[in-house]
Amino acid sequence: MSMPRTVVFGDDGSPNADVAWLFINSQSWQDWSVEVVTAQMPAIIGAVLPSERVELHSWDPPTPRVAFPGAGFAQVAHLTAESDPRIVLSRDCDLLVIGPRGTGFLKSLHLGSTADWLLLRPPAPLLIARHGKPTRNTVVCVDGSTHADKVTETIATLPWAEHLAVTVLAVEDSRTDVNTAVSRTRERLEPVVATVQVQTYSGRPTEMIHRHLADTSPDLVALGTRGLTGLKLLRLGSTASAIARSASCSVLLACDSAGGA
């Protein structure tokens, strides 16, 4: 018997975490499991703690998260550890969901320190939830990179993919084989989502994506963490970084670990 797929929810008790939890419960996760993970910073930074406290373990939080019946989760587990939340959430799973900012983070940024860390070092497909409604209209940005292929595969395997009206967005900027990228993405998504349409632009990718999001107001935008820039030392490309920080909709990012660091 195969293990159920797992969505990990990073919970810091903030209002943005409440929104992310509502986002999760507004979708259908039939037969998936959800792990509600809370990181508690040690009272004394640098103190040596017993492994049973530092490592993730089950606990009974004062106010447990209760999954909505319609979400369809096979199991809900509450886990905690006394450690840096960036480390606690850097774990393998099928999908990691967080809010854009939490308590105590830098309020001048659109993202908090934990979100920024996870963007640079994504341990799994990462969804930054900015609303709590069902996701229907989705933009999938493609550029022919393996990272874009990874985010397409993530969309295709979501348990609520069948409800998605997808716009495949490609920008011709002299580096992208738009026709090949779009064709590969359509072939993967058309059998599993509700509808697929294509939108192509010419120009600077970040500017064109921003413009499209402003004009269409989708529920979700999905893109790879890095495009065809050739900058092998960067985990997060400039386009992905700009969209993740400024989009008003939820953002899904994925990284192909086999495609290079």
Look at residue 1 and tell me if it is in a domain. Answer: no
| Structural domain ending residue among the three candidates 109, 128, 147 | 128
Residue 166 lies in a domain: yes
DSSP bridge partners of 172? 202
Q: Give the global pTM.
A: 0.88
CA distance 131 to 99: 9
For residue 116, what are the domain limits?
6-128
Quote the Cα angle for 233-234-240, to 5°: 160
203 burial (CB, 10 Å; 0-12 / 13-18 / 19+) is exposed
The number of distinct structural domains making up the chain is 2
What is the rounded CA–CA span in Å between residue 87 and residue 118?
9
Nearest to 202 by CA among 234, 170, 180: 170
Q: What is the pLDDT along the chain (261 residues), one digit of tens a residue?
A: 467 899 999 999 999 999 999 999 999 999 999 999 998 766 555 555 556 677 899 999 999 999 999 999 999 999 999 887 878 888 889 999 999 864 433 333 344 567 676 777 678 999 999 999 999 999 999 999 999 999 999 999 999 999 999 999 999 987 778 999 999 999 999 999 999 999 999 999 999 999 999 999 999 999 998 644 433 333 445 788 889 888 999 999 998 875 444
Same domain, 84 and 183: no
Can you give the CATH number for the domain in which 82 is found?
3.40.50.620
Within-domain flag for 103:
yes
Has residue 184 been placed in a domain? yes
